């Protein structure tokens, strides 16, 4: 794999101008993917919409017998029948309106839930590079807004095609039946209305995508500010961030105001045209009544049909504008769903069959997307059942090495083997299932302490969870919590201290019972007393397991069976603590002398931002080296 292949699948490309039939293509795709699941609901919603359309037409048609029979011919004996018909019409219309609204809402909510599940499952399949280049807050905001666009697209299409269009056709039929000449003249307002819709549609398409991007950026920035509130307050950044967010909010406000101005331009056009049509009909009816004494029933039915037709006609005219806005969101969600995972299992990949767990790097080279080499021809062996410490200055490639071993990325060249098997030929799930990992920055999920430890192995029993916590020196503080192991810990373990979070993450790794243990300075957040206890626990847990430690502290290095020293992605030294310090000119000995035994300060990565992903961590290190 070349370095260019480590690029993220890409942020969504700028949308090209949709083809005329693209709305139907997107709707067809949505229906193809979801239609079979909602056939009975679509039939019910369609039946209700047709019922609404028929009763709306009947409400206009009944005006003729109402006016002519009762008020002109004074046939009062027909009043009960006409009143009964009016009640029946509005009764059916009311229940049908309720039925279609509830049914379409149920379909829309189910579609949203379906796409939320699909998007999350798809995101879990994408490689680390995608997440390195995509801000989580913006991604979450975009997903929420885009998924709603699919629901709106379905709802508007259903209502427009079956509801408004059928209603409008029925009312036009009533108008033609009552006054054919007037009907033809009124329909002349259609061409200018269509022209206005097409003009506005083109403008809405562009500003809508801009607004979605701006809104996702805004929400993402707010989320990051809240998550990093401790840093914000520590560095007194409140005013600076408020000003920055204020500028973004002003920008978003102006975009939404522009959308409102553009999309609402249709309102005065349609109102003026409707006003001219109604005024013309009234003038014509007045002329016929004055000159020819024509009974007003058919004209009143015509006017009623015309007035009732105004709403579905207006909604149909606006539908295309609103569909453009929903289409932008639907296309953006499909851009995400159509993003191909860049790191798939090889064809015929086998499950990992790991026994002793000996790890061998053979001439491994790797570069990130910027092309700067991180590892250069790296070769070493981590012996089975032993602890190997990786030492090196920031940017030396330590974190990248661990990421490659877990196949977060694939090597540019060279081979990584476990028990003589190339990990590139293993399925990622089986490979990672054989590895327990503890990061320098522990991440805990929302839920209870017991839930977070059980994430190491979902089949673990409560007894195994408590035993793992005991080994990680976590059982004591856990039992002091209000609800013990069942205590909720908040977002990323907000209710726990840094050392407590780290011990929970260590317990999670212990309960995994994996043959390989990866420790990214797992004791960095602990005080000296807790560190001593956890080091003892890790010593017991690593017995019989192949352990690789990214070492920042001298205590970790001294106890390692083997030490690998990296410099600018190359192996420059390896051996034991004793053998490496025996040579006063060695890089390792220089590290040791500079800090007089207090720790490998030149190996400290504490300047790396909290939560930095492996790729970003090494890139930061390269810039600072």
Q: What would the pLDDT profile of 153-166 be if each residue is shown by its tens digit?
A: 777 777 776 667 77
595 and 482, same structural domain?
Answer: no
Last residue of a domain, one of 467, 498, 513: 513
Residue 195 pLDDT level (bands cut at 50, 70, 90): low
* Structural tokens at position 313: 């006609």
* Burial category of 344 from C-beta neighbours within 10 Å (exposed 0-12, middle 13-18, buried 19 and up): exposed
Per-residue pLDDT of 11-22, as tens digits, reads 333 444 444 456
> For the ranges 114-118, 336-340, 390-394, 524-528, which has the lowest average pLDDT?
524-528
Q: Does the pLDDT value for residue 375 go beyond 70? A: yes
Q: Which of 591, 514, 516, 512 is nearest to 551 (CA)?
A: 591
Say if 486 falls within a structural domain.
yes
Q: Residue 597 in 3-state DSSP? A: coil
241 against 417, higher pLDDT: 417
Mean pLDDT across the chain? 75
Q: How confident is the model at residue 227 (pLDDT cuts 50, 70, 90)?
A: low
Per-residue model confidence as pLDDT tens digits over 90-148: 888 888 888 888 888 888 888 888 888 888 888 888 777 777 667 666 677 667 777 77
| pLDDT of amino acid 10 | 37
What pLDDT score was predicted for residue 501? 85
pLDDT tier at 175, thresholds 50, 70, 90: confident
Is 344 within a domain? Answer: no
Q: Quote the pLDDT of residue 192.
A: 66
CA atoms of 557 and 543, how far apart (whole Å):
17
Region 475-501: what's the mean pLDDT? 84
Q: Same domain for 47 and 160?
A: yes
* Domain co-membership, 625 together with 490: no
| Domain match, 124 and 229 both | yes
Residue 16 domain-assigned (yes or no)? no
Q: What is the pLDDT of residue 537?
A: 67
- How many other C-beta atoms can be found within 10 angstroms of the C-beta atom of residue 610? 10
What's residue 71's pLDDT?
A: 67
Report how far residue 506's alpha carbon sits from residue 68's, in angstroms, rounded to the nearest whole number.
Answer: 87
Residue with tokens 């499950």: 351
Is residue 173 over pLDDT 80?
Answer: no
Total number of domains in the chain: 3
- The full DSSP string for 520-578 is ESTTTTS-HHHHHHHHHHHHHHTTTSEEEEE--SHHHHHT-SEEEEEETTEEEEEE-HH
Q: Please check the confidence at residue 358 and state whether its pLDDT lies above 70.
A: yes
What pLDDT score was predicted for residue 138?
67
- pLDDT score at 359: 92
Residue 6: the pLDDT is 46
CATH number where 183 lies: 1.20.1560.10
- Environment class of residue 152 by beta-carbon count within 10 Å: exposed (0-12), middle (13-18) or buried (19+)? buried
Domain limit, last residue, from 513, 529, 553: 513
pLDDT, position 617:
38
Residues 192 and 326 in one domain: yes
Tokens of 100: 């279609």
State percent of the chain over pLDDT 90: 6
**Does position 516 have pLDDT exceeding 80, yes or no?**
yes
pLDDT of residue 598: 47
Residue bearing the bigger pLDDT, 566 or 350: 566
Answer yes or no: is pLDDT of 56 > 60: yes
Lowest mean pLDDT among 42-51, 55-64, 157-166, 483-492: 157-166
Strands 373-382 and 516-520: unpaired
> Cα–Cα distance between 114 and 508 in angstroms, integer?
31
Residue 62, pLDDT score: 75
Question: What's the pLDDT score for residue 222?
Answer: 76
- Whether residue 149 is found in the same domain as residue 104: yes
Q: Is residue 345 part of a domain?
A: no
Residue 44's pLDDT is: 87
pLDDT digits (tens, 9 = 90+) for 566-602: 888 889 989 888 888 888 888 888 877 765 444 444 4
Residue 1 lies in a domain: no
For residue 362, what pLDDT is reported? 92
Mean pLDDT of 1-9: 40
Instruction: Yes or no: say if 53 and 287 are a contact pair by the CB < 8 Å rule.
Output: no
At 455, which CATH number? Answer: 3.40.50.300
Q: Could you tell me if 223 and 370 lie in one domain?
A: no
Q: Are 463 and 403 in contact (CB under 8 A)?
A: no
Whether 404 and 490 map to the same domain: the answer is: no
Residue percentage of the chain with pLDDT more than 70:
72
**Within this chain, do residues 382 and 423 fall inside the same structural domain, yes or no?**
yes
- Prediction pTM value: 0.64
Q: What pLDDT was estimated at residue 453?
A: 92
Q: Which structural domain, as residue segments, surrounds residue 43?
A: 21-337
Task: Name which residue leads in pLDDT, 246 or 360.
Answer: 360
Q: Which of 85-94, 195-204, 492-501, 528-537 shows the lowest mean pLDDT across its residues?
A: 195-204
Mean pLDDT of 589-616: 48
In a domain, 6, yes or no: no
Partners of 520 in beta bridges: 550
The yes-or-no verdict on residue 263 having pLDDT over 50 is yes
- With bands split at pLDDT 50, 70 and 90, how would you rate the model's confidence at 9? very low
Residue 1, pLDDT > 50, answer no
pLDDT score for 206: 64
Q: Which of 62, 66, 64, 86 is nearest to 75 (CA)?
A: 66
Residue 327 lies in a domain: yes
* Least confident range of 87-96, 280-289, 559-568: 280-289
Quick one: 54 and 172 in the same domain? yes
- 193 and 271 assigned to the same domain: yes
In a domain, 210, yes or no: yes
User: In the structure, what pLDDT confidence band is assigned to residue 486 with cuts at 50, 70 and 90?
Assistant: very high
Instruction: Output the six-digit token pair for 279.
Output: 């005024």
> Which of 473, 493, 513 marks a domain boundary?
513
CA separation for the pair 541, 537 (Å, rounded): 6
Name the phi and psi angles at 350, rounded to 5. Answer: -105, 160
The reported pLDDT for the residue numbered 191 is 66
Residue 441 has pLDDT above 50, yes or no: yes
* Domain shared by 464 and 595, yes or no: no
What burial class does residue 283 get, using C-beta atoms within 10 Å of its C-beta: 0-12 exposed, 13-18 middle, 19+ buried? exposed
Give the rounded distance of the alpha carbon of 382 from its chain centre: 39
């Amino acid at each position: 794999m070349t370095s260019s292949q480590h690029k993220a699948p890409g942020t969504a490309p700028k949308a090209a101008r949709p083809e005329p039939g693209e709305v139907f293509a997107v709707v067809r795709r949505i229906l193809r993917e979801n239609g079979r699941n909602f056939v009975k609901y679509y039939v019910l919603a369609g039946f209700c919409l047709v019922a609404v359309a028929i009763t709306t037409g009947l409400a206009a048609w009944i005006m003729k017998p109402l006016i002519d029979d009762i008020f002109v011919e004074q046939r009062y004996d027909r009043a009960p029948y006409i009143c009964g018909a009016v009640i029946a019409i509005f009764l059916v219309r009311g229940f049908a309106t309720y039925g279609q609204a509830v049914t379409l809402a149920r379909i829309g909510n189910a579609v949203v839930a379906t796409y939320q599940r699909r998007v999350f499952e798809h995101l879990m399949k994408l490689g680390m590079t995608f997440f390195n280049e995509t801000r989580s807050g913006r991604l979450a905001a975009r997903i929420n807004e885009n998924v709603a666009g699919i629901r709106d697209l379905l709802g508007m299409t259903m209502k427009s095609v079956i509801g408004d269009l059928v209603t409008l056709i029925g009312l036009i039929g009533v108008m033609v039946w009552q006054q054919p000449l007037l009907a033809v003249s009124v329909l002349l307002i259609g061409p200018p209305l269509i022209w206005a819709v097409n003009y506005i549609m083109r403008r809405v398409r562009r500003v809508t995508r801009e607004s979605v991007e701006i809104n996702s950026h805004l929400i993402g920035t707010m989320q990051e500010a809240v998550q990093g509130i401790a840093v914000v307050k520590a560095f007194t950044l409140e005013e600076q961030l408020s000003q920055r967010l204020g500028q973004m909010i002003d920008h978003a406000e102006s975009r939404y105001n522009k959308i409102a101005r553009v999309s609402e331009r249709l309102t005065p056009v349609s109102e003026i045209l409707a006003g001219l049509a109604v005024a013309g009909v009234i003038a014509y009816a007045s002329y016929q009544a004055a000159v020819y004494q024509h009974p007003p029933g058919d004209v009143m039915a015509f006017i009623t049909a015309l007035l009732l037709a105004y709403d579905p006609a207006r909604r149909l005219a606006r539908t295309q504008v609103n569909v453009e806005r929903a289409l932008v969101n639907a296309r953006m969600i499909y851009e995400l769903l159509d993003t191909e995972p860049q790191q798939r299992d090889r064809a015929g990949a086998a499950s990992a069959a790991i026994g002793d767990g000996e790890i061998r790097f053979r001439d491994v080279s790797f570069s990130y997307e910027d092309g700067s080499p991180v590892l250069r021809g790296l070769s070493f062996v981590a012996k089975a059942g032993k602890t190997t410490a990786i030492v090196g200055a920031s940017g030396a490639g330590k974190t990248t090495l661990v990421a490659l071993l877990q196949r977060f990325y694939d090597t540019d060249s060279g081979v990584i083997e476990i028990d003589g098997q190339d990990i590139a030929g293993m399925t990622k799930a089986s490979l990672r299932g054989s590895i327990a990992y503890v990061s320098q920055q522990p991440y805990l999920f929302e839920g209870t302490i017991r839930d977070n430890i059980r994430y190491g192995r979902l089949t673990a029993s409560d007894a195994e969870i408590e035993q793992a916590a005991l080994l990680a020196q976590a059982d004591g503080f856990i039992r002091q919590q209000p609800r013990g192991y069942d205590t909720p810990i908040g977002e990323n373990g907000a209710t726990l201290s840094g050392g407590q979070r780290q011990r929970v993450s260590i317990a999670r790794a212990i309960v995994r019972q994996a043959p390989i243990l990866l420790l990214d300075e797992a004791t960095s957040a602990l005080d000296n007393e807790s560190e001593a206890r956890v080091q003892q626990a890790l010593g017991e847990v690593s017995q019989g397991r192949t352990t690789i430690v990214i070492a920042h502290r001298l205590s970790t290095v001294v106890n390692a069976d083997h030490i690998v020293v990296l410099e600018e992605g190359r192996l420059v030294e390896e051996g034991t603590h004793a053998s490496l310090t025996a040579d006063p000119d060695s890089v390792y000995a220089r590290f040791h002398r500079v800090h007089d035994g207090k720790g490998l300060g030149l190996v400290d990565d504490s300047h790396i931002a909290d939560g930095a992903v492996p790729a970003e961590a090494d890139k930061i290190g390269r810039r600072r080296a």
